[in-house]
Amino acid sequence: MNIIETLDVGVPLRTAYDHWTKYEDFSGFAKGVQSVSQGDEVTTDWEVKVGPSKRSFKATVQEQVPDERIVWTSQGAKGSTRGAVSFHEITPP
- For residues 3 and 31, give the distance between their C-alpha atoms in angstroms, rounded to a whole number: 16
The pLDDT score that the predictor gives to residue 77 is 92
> What does the chain come to in residues?
93
Beta strands in 1-93 (DSSP E): 33-38, 43-50, 53-65, 69-76, 79-86
Per-residue confidence in pLDDT tens, the chain, 93 aa: 788 999 999 899 999 999 999 999 999 999 999 999 999 999 999 999 989 999 999 999 999 999 999 999 999 998 999 999 999 998 776
pTM: 0.85
What are the Cα distances from residue 18, in Å, to 41, 53, 64?
A: 14, 30, 12
